[in-house]
Amino acid sequence: MIKPETVERVRLEADIVDIIGSYLPLKKVGRNFRGLCPFHPDRSPSFYVNPERQTYHCFGCGTGGNVLGFIMAQEKLAFPDAVRFLANRLGIEVQEQTSTRNRPLYEACEQAAQFFESEFGKSRAAQAYLARRGLGEATAREFRLGYAPPGNRLRAEARKRSWPEENLVRAGLLARREDGLGDYFYNRLMFPLFSMSGKIVGFGGRVLDDREPKYLNSPETDIFRKGYNLYGGYQARSAMREQPPLLVEGNFDVLSMVDSGFANTIAPLGTALTANQALLLAKFGNRTTVCLDGDAAGAKATRRAIEVLLACGIEPRVAVLPQGSDPDSYVRQQGAAGMRQLLDRAQDFVDYIAGAADTGSVLARRQVLREVAVLLARVSDATTRELYVNELAGRFGVDKYQMMREAGGAGAAPATSTQPTKMEEKLVAAALQSADLARIVRDFCLAEAVADEQLKAVASMVADHCDEAEFGAAVLMNQTEDEGLRRAIARLTFVEQGLPDAAEFEARARRLRAGWLHGRIVAAHAAGKEREAERLSKEKNELLRVSGEERSGS
Ligand SMILES: [Zn+2]
């Protein structure tokens, strides 16, 4: 858990124009900034960033939010991870709330790892499998490989040794099945997954027979989250301080490479490289070598890894394997020396992309330029980005400013912000900008009176938070999990024309409330609820009497 103070600092220090501007080129238009939307195929820039309110909104696809929302959408991160991501970029130390709640989970994983290790010592099949793959014993021991036998043997062991079953369930090692608790992993070669501090947080298991899935990882638990750990990260930590990390695809790639002396090898644990994993690597310096499988899927994953690494301030180099090989097979066929040669020929990411395309024709070169421009937009540090631009402009023989523009796309006609603006929308939009107006929303119970469901939700949120020390669209967005609500708030920060001032606001609020009361009175009469109709009429007359006095200037 991240301390609220950290979240607050990140929110205050992260400037939305800087952050979004590092992903896509933004152009100042009036008080806002505009660019091509990264979330839908956008031909004319319809993506707006509002520096005053620290919000963004796309008039094309309707997406929107604050700076944390943008990082969540762009980097596909959960809220706390988006906070960590931005904190890293801003150089803010993340203070975590330490909890002892999870200690039993670490214990359960350690107990299970010991059980799997001892079962490995007894299993001919598991040992024969590793021998077939040519893996040395020392590496197997260092990575604490194990074996999960068939049948519910871990459960039996837990009962025998009185390990609390509940902890094994919480750690994802026992699963509830129709016939009761059973082992999550069985008849699998087991790979313990370590945190960077060396605690086992989960497991990966590979079948020894033909069952599917071939690889199975622990389910998400309180100590194991997808995309958050690197296979081999803990074992590679000192090697990665000496030389750049070497990113490969699978667990066996890591084991074979380490076995052959490449101790700096790590893998992303069955997912494409995530920003959080890249941030772990960033702690070891600003370079990483990518060496993924030599096939179409590997090429695609390489492209994605380049993007993620660049966004996290790491300069990627790419070592390309021959078609059909992976690091595991290549190092076993060519030996450590052959692998070393291949790694020495690693290209920088631009050469890699240019090399993967046919650059014989002008059109093909243009296409490469375009692709590289998209990647460059991901480079978070402006100076670094400029250095790349200079170098590329030279290499492609294009003007530097042309290259900059290339990253920007065509500056087509502005998207006009003529959303249907009703009185309700203007009231709620104005209330988002001022706690004083928000209090009027609360006092007149406008959330009830607003017809549009989304506006109603925003109005009710505005009313709930109007007395807090800090008030505003960006703050409110951090207080809701509801994506639709966050978007609605962001959209409203771009409603600027014809917003009422304070006096006008109250008069309109009264009219809105009175109109709503009128509808309720009619309904109450129709339902024969005369007492209720009378009570509502009194409220309505009171409202109109006050606004009548205001109008006559008293
Ligand atoms: Zn969009």
Provide the token pair at 478. 């951090």
Provide the token pair at 316. 């990627």
Give distance in angstroms: CA of 408 to centre of ligand 1: 15
Alpha helix stretches (DSSP H) within 345-396: 349-356, 362-376, 382-396
Give distance in angstroms: CA of 41 to centre of ligand 1: 7
Provide the token pair at 179. 């016939």
* Domain spans in the chain, listed from the N-terminal domain onward: 4-90, 103-224, 236-353, 357-406, 419-552
Give distance in angstroms: CA of 323 to centre of ligand 1: 37
Cis omega (within 30 of 0) on the bond before 213?
Answer: yes
247, containing H or E segment: strand 246-247
Give distance in angstroms: CA of 502 to centre of ligand 1: 33
Give distance in angstroms: CA of 312 to centre of ligand 1: 24
Contact present, 1 and 99 (Cβ < 8 Å): yes
Give distance in angstroms: CA of 458 to centre of ligand 1: 21
What does the pLDDT profile of the chain (554 residues) look like in tens digits? 788 888 888 888 888 998 999 888 899 999 899 999 999 888 889 999 999 889 999 988 889 999 999 999 988 888 888 998 898 888 888 887 766 788 899 999 999 999 999 999 999 999 999 999 999 999 999 999 999 999 899 999 999 999 999 999 999 999 988 888 999 999 999 999 999 888 999 999 999 888 888 999 999 998 998 788 999 999 999 999 899 999 999 999 999 999 999 999 999 987 789 888 988 898 888 899 999 999 999 999 999 899 889 878 888 999 999 999 999 999 999 999 999 999 999 998 888 887 766 667 777 777 777 778 777 776 766 677 778 888 777 777 777 777 666 654 322 222 222 233 467 888 899 999 889 999 999 888 888 888 788 888 899 999 989 888 888 888 888 888 788 888 888 888 887 777 888 888 888 888 888 888 888 888 887 777 888 888 888 888 888 777 665 554 44
Unique residue bearing structure tokens 């790491």: 314
What are the E-state strand segments in 111-250?
Answer: 146-148, 174-177, 180-183, 188-194, 200-207, 215-217, 246-247
Give distance in angstroms: CA of 520 to centre of ligand 1: 39
Give distance in angstroms: CA of 47 to centre of ligand 1: 6
Provide the token pair at 39. 């979330």
Give distance in angstroms: CA of 63 to centre of ligand 1: 6
Give distance in angstroms: CA of 544 to centre of ligand 1: 43
**Distance from C-alpha of 62 to C-alpha of 81, rounded to nearest angstrom:** 24
Q: Which of 218, 209, 135 is nearest to 172 (CA)?
A: 218
**Distance from C-alpha of 64 to C-alpha of 19, rounded to nearest angstrom:** 15
Give distance in angstroms: CA of 58 to centre of ligand 1: 5
3-state SS assignment for residue 404: helix
What pLDDT was estimated at residue 279? 84
DSSP 294-345: SSHHHHHHHHHHHHHHHHTT-EEEEPPPPTT--HHHHHHHHHHHHHHHHHHT
Using alpha carbons only, what angle is made at residue 156 by residues 151 and 158, rounded to the nearest 5 degrees?
Answer: 130
**Distance from C-alpha of 490 to C-alpha of 59, rounded to nearest angstrom:** 11
Provide the token pair at 472. 């505003």
Give distance in angstroms: CA of 64 to centre of ligand 1: 8
Using alpha carbons only, what angle is made at residue 349 by residues 346 and 353, rounded to the nearest 5 degrees?
Answer: 105
**Distance from C-alpha of 35 to C-alpha of 24, rounded to nearest angstrom:** 7
Non-local (6+) Cβ contacts of 221 within 8 A are 105, 170, 171, 172, 201, 202
Give distance in angstroms: CA of 70 to centre of ligand 1: 12
Q: Which of 311, 284, 318, 308 is nearest to 385 (CA)?
A: 311
Give distance in angstroms: CA of 468 to centre of ligand 1: 32
Give distance in angstroms: CA of 414 to centre of ligand 1: 14
Q: Which of 437, 435, 371, 442 is nearest to 406 (CA)?
A: 371
What pLDDT was estimated at residue 347? 93
Contact present, 232 and 266 (Cβ < 8 Å): yes
**Distance from C-alpha of 207 to C-alpha of 187, rounded to nearest angstrom:** 6
Give distance in angstroms: CA of 499 to centre of ligand 1: 25
**How far, in Å, are 120, 520, 523, 531, 545 from residue 534 at the CA level?**
81, 11, 12, 5, 16
What's the start-to-end Cα distance of the chain, in Å? Answer: 55
What one-letter code names the amino acid at 521?
I
Phi, psi of 60 (to 5 degrees): -85, -55
Give distance in angstroms: CA of 19 to centre of ligand 1: 17
Give distance in angstroms: CA of 376 to centre of ligand 1: 20
Q: Which of 47, 39, 49 is nearest to 15 (CA)?
A: 49
Give distance in angstroms: CA of 59 to centre of ligand 1: 7
Give distance in angstroms: CA of 498 to centre of ligand 1: 25
Domain 103-224 has CATH 3.40.1160.10: no
Provide the token pair at 386. 């400029």
DSSP state of 200: E
Non-local (6+) Cβ contacts of 310 within 8 A are 316, 349, 375, 376, 378, 379, 380
Contact present, 493 and 501 (Cβ < 8 Å): no
What one-letter code names the amino acid at 103?
R
Alpha-carbon torsion (455, 456, 462, 465), positive or negative = negative
Fold of the 4-90 domain: DNA Primase; Chain A (3.90.580)
Provide the token pair at 498. 């014809």
What pLDDT was estimated at residue 181? 92
Give distance in angstroms: CA of 306 to centre of ligand 1: 24
**Distance from C-alpha of 249 to C-alpha of 270, rounded to nearest angstrom:** 8
Give distance in angstroms: CA of 495 to centre of ligand 1: 17
**Distance from C-alpha of 320 to C-alpha of 307, rounded to nearest angstrom:** 17
| Class of domain 236-353 (CATH, top level) | alpha beta
Q: Which of 57, 59, 64, 50 is nearest to 15 (CA)?
A: 50
Give distance in angstroms: CA of 530 to centre of ligand 1: 50
Give distance in angstroms: CA of 478 to centre of ligand 1: 21
Q: What is the bridge-based pairing of β-strands 200-207 and 215-217?
A: antiparallel
**Distance from C-alpha of 467 to C-alpha of 16, rounded to nearest angstrom:** 25
Give distance in angstroms: CA of 39 to centre of ligand 1: 5
Give distance in angstroms: CA of 483 to centre of ligand 1: 15
DSSP state of 133: T
> How many residues belong to the chain?
554
pTM to 2 decimals?
A: 0.62
Provide the token pair at 442. 């609360």
Give distance in angstroms: CA of 114 to centre of ligand 1: 51
Give distance in angstroms: CA of 531 to centre of ligand 1: 51
What one-letter code names the amino acid at 125?
A
Give distance in angstroms: CA of 484 to centre of ligand 1: 14
Give distance in angstroms: CA of 57 to centre of ligand 1: 8
| Class of domain 419-552 (CATH, top level) | mainly alpha
What pLDDT was estimated at residue 98? 65
**Distance from C-alpha of 386 to C-alpha of 371, rounded to nearest angstrom:** 17
In SS3 terms, 45-112 reads as CCEEEECCCCEEEECCCCCEEEHHHHHHHHHCCCHHHHHHHHHHHHCCCCCECCCCCCHHHHHHHHHH
Give distance in angstroms: CA of 31 to centre of ligand 1: 20
